[in-house]
Chain A
Amino acid sequence: MQERHRLGEEEITRELLRPLVTTTPMMWVGFIGLGAVLAIFVFAVSWMFYWGLGVTGLQRPNMWGFMIVNFVFWIGISHAGVMISAILRLTQAEWRRPVTRAAEVMTIFSLMTAMLHPVIHTGRPWRTLYWVFPYDFWRNLWPDVRGPLVWDPSAILTYLTGSTLFLYTTMIPDMALARDRTIGWRKVLYTILALGWRGNERQWKMQTIAGFLLSGLILPVFVSVHSIVSWDFAVSLVPTWHATVFAPYFVIGAIHSGVSAVVTLMALMRWLFRFDHYIRLEHFDAIGRLLIAVGTGWLWFFLLDIFFAIYPQEARELEIMDFRLFQWPFNVLTALIFIFGYFIPVPIWIFQRFRRNVKIMFWTSILVNVGMWAERYWLIKPGLMRKYEWTFDWNWYRPSIVEISIVLGSFALVGFLLLVFSKIFPPISVWEEKEGQHFAQQLQVGKRVVNAIVREF
């Protein structure tokens, strides 16, 4: 990349391993603040387990509420991590290097947090897990494979396993680096994780091929996961859920929110760890351009979803779409989704000077995710509130303080896990940064010398 600083091997190592050995005041603030919210989360969940689901706002017909909305949101966030990492690796985009590790880690923690929600949402998770896992061979009774609630965990577990293996494989060389520089428990941990890595040519070659192969394999999984999550809703007969467009719509929405979350993470890493030499303005510029395309794609599917609901002129669909678009409070929510999800951020991202402004990128990425959380709520709740035809079966959903605490706590959980990760493992891939330095060249073009990159095929 044109703005790359020529850094020495030792400098790169020292700077990228710094979060492991030093804890800045901002990191302490992060640990304490997020830990406090996490404690509230644990208390809220425990309270719900003790007293039962009566402490939530769930009631007939609103049996899916904030926890399921939040589940869909976190699955969405998890998407961009591996998508960014895999697509950029496959296309050998040079600006991937400082982004991939954090994005992959975010995928894993988001997925874990997402998976927590359907389990705790049952109120008695130990009973749920008893019935579904492991498969009960003794009584010859099985979960029904025709139900999307079986497809969903199979897809998410595949994605989680694949993402974790993907991350671990790319971390092995950095584990060897940490092994050779640490003592005590850290040395034991890194020695085990490094698997005896020595860094010979064959091992590097396998790393490179693994990057391509795993990227190629994880991309179809990533598309399948949110498609299948969308079928949790789309294969039901609930009005406005029963839409064929749901699968691609959910996937593009996931990418929109997830890529925005990567921007948030990049800004936070730059501020927290002072990684200015690695996460540069050109990276925000590049990802901002990507977000314009993704955001516009999402808007298209958002409109398609409305169009498909209106076009067949089915009374129930029209009724609930009218409820979603024009009646309080969903009319306000619709406007908020439009404004936060598209009409504020995208026009801003069109201008390069804003794309290269970290604060603006940070706040617009937060706006997108506020909009996208609202979009998940908007997609799921109105149809459920008016699920049945008779008005005496209609009901409003009012989330309780317990559910609100769980939602807020889920953000703290992901943030806390990311911070803990960055205290144990390098948040930016050290070997990939060094590889970038090795592959950086200066090319003579006429009388000028320009920066260039060696690219292998």
Chain B
Amino acid sequence: MAIREVLGLYRDLDSAVAAADALREAGFSRNEFEVLSNAPYPEGTFGEESGIHRLFVFPLIGAACGFAAGLLITGGTQLSYPLVTGGKPLLSIPPMIIIMYEGTMLGALIFTVLGVLFESRLPWIGRALYDSRITQGYIGILVRTAPEREARAIEALRKANPEDILTEGGKTGQQPARG
């Protein structure tokens, strides 16, 4: 099913919050619109958003991989060239722990960053409505909805006195809020 995007740009927080409320009143669920800003706001400012993610799994997987790599390097290199030094055991556990520890942490760190990128949907190379004024401090409300509801979304966004409304077809321009 085709999805249409509408982006409302607001100069201040109050207008953006009003737009989010207007969208909800017009029957749009929280999953159908997202708020774009240049810095985070306290959670719940724009209403509850779906926050399901699996970021916490990534470091665990990374740690397991890093541990395995550390074990392989330390154990494998000692066993593949079995040279006894100073009558010590071939597999010297304490130094292996050091390398395995570093491997575990390295794996966890790398996978955490990969997880952050994955869960943030980055790198983003798809097409989506965006406006550089968002990084200047404007707040964007991006609605993704069915084509037949696009007009209703624009109407709801206009209620909160937007600076601009952008659609996939181009600008619809700022409209004064209706009483």
A contact set with B: CB distance below 8 Å: 8-10, 13, 135, 140-147, 150-151, 154-155, 157-158, 161-162, 165-166, 168-169, 172-173, 176-177, 179-181, 195-210, 213-214, 217-218, 220-221, 224, 228, 431-432, 434-435, 437-439, 454, 456
Contacts and interface: CB of A to CB of B under 8 A. Distances in A.
Contact of B85 (A146, A150, A196, A438): A146
A201 B142 CA distance: 11
A142 B55 CA distance: 36
A173 B38 contact: yes
Contacts of A181: 132, 135
A151 B99 contact: yes
Nearest to A192: B123
B55 A438 contact: no
A60 B135 CA distance: 61
A161 B106 contact: yes
A9 B137 contact: yes
A201 B105 contact: no
Nearest to A142: B77
A20 to B, nearest CB: 14
Nearest to B96: A145
Nearest to B52: A202
A199 B123 contact: no
Interface in B76-108: 77-78, 80-81, 85, 88, 92, 95-96, 98-99, 101-103, 105-106, 108
Contacts, number: 179
- For chain B, the bracket of interface size reads 35 or more
A217 B109 contact: yes
A145 B71 CA distance: 11
Please give me the 6 A-B residue pairs with the lowest Cβ-Cβ distance, nearest first.
Answer: A196-B124, A9-B137, A434-B39, A180-B132, A142-B77, A204-B40
A198 B116 contact: no
Contacts of B120: 197, 202-203, 206-207
A220 B55 CA distance: 20
Interface of B: 34-43, 46, 49, 51, 53, 55-56, 59, 73-74, 77-78, 80-81, 85, 88, 92, 95-96, 98-99, 101-103, 105-106, 108-110, 112-113, 116-117, 119-125, 128, 130, 132, 134-137, 142
B20 to A, nearest CB: 11
A201 B137 contact: no
Contact of B36 (A161, A168, A200, A218): A200
Contact of B51 (A10, A162, A200, A205): A205
Residue in A204, A214, A437 whose Cβ sees the most chain B Cβ within 10 Å: A204
Contacts of B119: 202, 206
Contact of A145 (B49, B59, B74, B117): B74
Contacts of B106: 157-158, 161-162
Contact of B37 (A8, A172, A199): A199
Contact of A200 (B34, B78, B101, B113): B34
B33 to A, nearest CB: 10
Contacts of A173: 38-39
A161 B117 contact: no
A217 B108 contact: yes
A439 to B, nearest CB: 6
Nearest to B112: A213
A232 B40 CA distance: 44
Contacts of A196: 122-125
A217 B102 contact: no
A202 B122 contact: no
A431 B38 contact: yes
Contacts of B117: 195
A177 B137 CA distance: 10
A143 B95 CA distance: 13
A200 B30 CA distance: 13
